[in-house]
Amino acid sequence: MKALKICFWLFYTFHYTLVLVKASDSLLSPKGVNYEVAALMSMKKDMKDELKVMAGWDINSVDPCTWNMVGCSVEGFVISLEMTTMGLAGTLSPSIGNLTHLRTMLLQNNHLTGSIPAEIGKLSQLHTLDLSGNELEGKIPSSLGSLFHLSYLRLSRNKLVGPIPKPVASLSGLSFLDLSFNNLSGPTPNILAQAYSITGNNFLCSPSSAQICMGNSKPINDTSSPAKVTGHHRWVLSVAIGISCTFVISVMLIVCWVHWYRSRLFSTSYVQQDYEFDISQLKRFAFRDLQIATSNFSRKNILGQGGFGVVYRGCLPNGTMVAVKRLKDPNYTGEMQFQTEVEMIGLALHRNLLRLYGFCMTSNERLLVYPYMVNGSVADRLRETCREKPSLDWNRRLHIGLGTARGLLYLHEQCNPKIIHRDVKAANILLDESFEAVVGDFGLAKLLDRRDSHVTTAVRGTVGHIAPEYLSTGQSSEKTDVFGFGILLLELITGQKALDAGNGQVQKGMILEWVKTLHQEKKLEVIVDKDLKGCFDPDDLEISVELALQCTQSNPNLRPKMSEILKILEGLVEPLAPAEESQGGTNLGEARACSSFSRNYSEVHEESSFNIEAMELSGPR
């Protein structure tokens, strides 16, 4: 039997080695040169690298996976090139089409010139392509329309000319297409991307004016006739050109006026719009306007603060209440990268996610503007300082957990790219007018970490809510959020803070250990919030506690997915009665009498997030 096991192990080792050898052989030319190395070296040859960021790229290397800015799969194929803001100039080599396993290519904010090589259309696995902020010329290659896996395409702020290729416009899988601020011309085709921007292309026209576009594309001087232009003809031509210029200028002035009028109209009505809005409708606020709205960021208007920044109550000129988040460390990224990431966050639209109204950028400020939630956060309601308000009943608490699970499920499985929250806690779950759970700060963890890798340079979160693997290694995943959700469930059940299980002794993970002990002793009724006064189902309590304990297991692989959590909660939550659905189990007249603006926000201050200084990670990347 032992000999049989040894033989099996030797066979498995040989087979695995053979697979790796075949994979490496598939990358080698008859001369033994790695095709991907050759493609990357061609890129290096055609680019001017003044900062020497490609100095480590070596033609004699068999494995490019250790090179700077290059990412590889487990099999050793190049799957990502992240060369953002590296001071690169020169042109893009057509050899890039040989990187057939490439999924992500980020070359924005460099100084690249020349045309976009049509060979990029060979990259059938490409998901993300960003060439914005360069000086690329020529037409957009129609071959990009064959990239059916592409979900993010940005070619803005270049010098591209010609029409928008119909194959590119017909890519229905695109989440975001940005062709703004080029010199594109001709009729605008029907674009199937979920969100797109083509502003700043003055020669583009609508499909209805296709004939005018075609007319304008004809050359003014007809060189086919050898006859000389007479003085009369010159006069007629000058008058025609003058009239044409006057007409064009008039049309441009009208378009600018319409754009200004729509922007002004939007500034007074954007709060009432539905959740289905285009990315171009994100409002860019002036810093002065937000200063006025928050009374110069007065301490009296602070709603809460944490590791990401301070949140202020604000009132816009039209009377709309907003929450303004003033981010800490505003110099973490460039303006265009900040705007790109804000736009990506703005694409995440769900009834259980906090909607982003707009943003503000200055040389030293980064601010985000959200709707104001009149019922505060779950932390406010569980530890209400205005005690004449009725507490949340049992079914409402389960309903809050259900709404939170739906929002997190959307971030994990329906967003592209997916977003990991990394700070799921009661203070970040807000309650709208109907007491529906709304997940807040869901994009900030991604926004404040420049790398897309699951390994982050700083641990962000709140003590007592951080998963052990994230705290010890800095590695986060969807299961990191699952851990935080489990702690949130325990907060909803017990009404206690994660660090204080009712006795005032602050101790890391105390609520979790406290519940584990009472669960083993089968004394679950002891942990239930006293405000519920026995108004709960013992069976539902046991299922909820067991679910919370599954979510907070130390091994992340043993924790359930958000989709599995959602199914369990859907079986527990009863439909809300109409009165309860609109009032959340409380009298709104009483709620207004005890204004949320007059609350003591010390609870939020006590749960403020923290940052662990950047950890040095092993490896060249």
Beta bridge partners of 130: 106, 154
Confidence category of residue 33, pLDDT binned at 50, 70, 90: low
Predicted confidence at residue 210, as pLDDT, reads 46
Mean pLDDT of 41-45: 91
Residue 455 has pLDDT above 80, yes or no: no
Name every residue whose Cβ is closer than 8 Å to that of residue 540 and which is 6 or more positions away in sequence: 394, 398, 572
Residue 179 has pLDDT above 60, yes or no: yes
Predicted confidence at residue 544, as pLDDT, reads 93
Nearest Cα to Cα of residue 501 among 490, 489, 510, 488: 510
Residue 365 has pLDDT above 90, yes or no: no
Is 474 or 194 the better-scoring residue by pLDDT? 194
Q: Nearest 5°: phi and psi at 460?
A: -115, 135
Question: Catalytic site residues?
Answer: 423
Predicted confidence at residue 447, as pLDDT, reads 54
Confidence category of residue 157, pLDDT binned at 50, 70, 90: very high
Predicted confidence at residue 207, as pLDDT, reads 60
| 3, containing H or E segment | helix 2-25
* Residue 412 CB coordination number (10 Å): 20
Predicted confidence at residue 137, as pLDDT, reads 94
Predicted confidence at residue 55, as pLDDT, reads 83
| 371, containing H or E segment | strand 366-371
Residue 348 has pLDDT above 80, yes or no: no
Q: Which range (96-100, 144-148, 578-582) has the least confidence?
A: 578-582
- CB of 109 closer than 8 Å to CB of 87: no
Mean pLDDT of 294-308: 84
Identify the structural domains of the chain with CATH numbers, from first to last: 35-205 (3.80.10.10), 283-371 (3.30.200.20), 378-573 (1.10.510.10)
Predicted confidence at residue 398, as pLDDT, reads 92
Residue 619 has pLDDT above 70, yes or no: no
Confidence category of residue 92, pLDDT binned at 50, 70, 90: very high
C-alpha triplet 250, 253, 259: angle, nearest 5°: 140
Q: Which range (103-112, 236-245, 330-339, 515-524) has the least confidence?
A: 330-339
Residue showing tokens 């309601």? 381
Confidence category of residue 134, pLDDT binned at 50, 70, 90: very high
The percentage of residues in the chain with a pLDDT greater than 90, rounded to a whole number, is 30
Name every residue whose Cβ is closer than 8 Å to that of residue 352 and which is 6 or more positions away in sequence: 403, 404, 406, 407, 410, 436, 437, 438, 439
What amino acid is encoded at 337 in this protein? Q
Residue 234 has pLDDT above 60, yes or no: yes
User: Binding site membership for ATP: which residues?
Assistant: 325
Confidence category of residue 138, pLDDT binned at 50, 70, 90: very high
Predicted confidence at residue 307, as pLDDT, reads 63
What is the chain's mean pLDDT, rounded?
Answer: 75
Residue 329 has pLDDT above 70, yes or no: no
Predicted confidence at residue 73, as pLDDT, reads 81
Predicted confidence at residue 220, as pLDDT, reads 31
Residue showing tokens 């290694």? 473
CA–CA distance, 475 with 483 (Å, rounded to integer):
13
* Token pair recorded at residue 39: 């493609």
Predicted confidence at residue 306, as pLDDT, reads 67
Confidence category of residue 227, pLDDT binned at 50, 70, 90: very low
Q: Tens digits of per-residue pLDDT, 597-616?
A: 323 333 333 333 333 333 32
* Residue 111 CB coordination number (10 Å): 15
Predicted confidence at residue 567, as pLDDT, reads 92
Residue 30 has pLDDT above 70, yes or no: no
* Token pair recorded at residue 53: 């960021």
Residue 583 has pLDDT above 70, yes or no: no
* Token pair recorded at residue 333: 């990224």
Nearest Cα to Cα of residue 451 among 472, 415, 475, 473: 475
Q: Is the pTM of this model over 0.95?
A: no
Is 385 or 593 the better-scoring residue by pLDDT? 385
Q: Which range (14-18, 212-216, 543-547, 599-603) has the least confidence?
A: 599-603
